[in-house]
Amino acid sequence: MYRVTYKAFEMDDKPIVKKFDEWYEAEEWVQDEIARRVDWRVQHTGYYIDEGAYEHFQEEEAALIKVDRI
């Protein structure tokens, strides 16, 4: 079983916590959630987003995730 903790920002004291029976389920949810959050940021910015900025957004989101095997 796996527990995924996903914060909205670094000091978030009420993160999303999900539990999954299988690793692939946790991995799929994390990938989908990162894509959703990055897409939201891209759509709501008033600036041109190049590939480097897009990758930076993905890295920032990935840093907010913690996965534990329970």
Q: Where are the domains of the chain?
A: 2-69
Token pair recorded at residue 39 = 């897409």
For residue 52, count CB atoms less than 10 angstroms from its CB and return exposed for 0-12, middle for 13-18, buried for 19 or more.
exposed
10-residue mean pLDDT profile of the chain (70 residues): values are 96 97 97 97 92 96 97
Residue-level pLDDT at 57: 96
User: Which is nearest to 6 in space by CA: 57, 50, 67, 58?
Assistant: 67
Residue pointed to by tokens 């527990």: 3
Look at residue 17 in the predicted model and tell me its pLDDT: 98
Q: Which residues pair with 18 in a beta bridge?
A: 4
SS3 of 39, please? helix
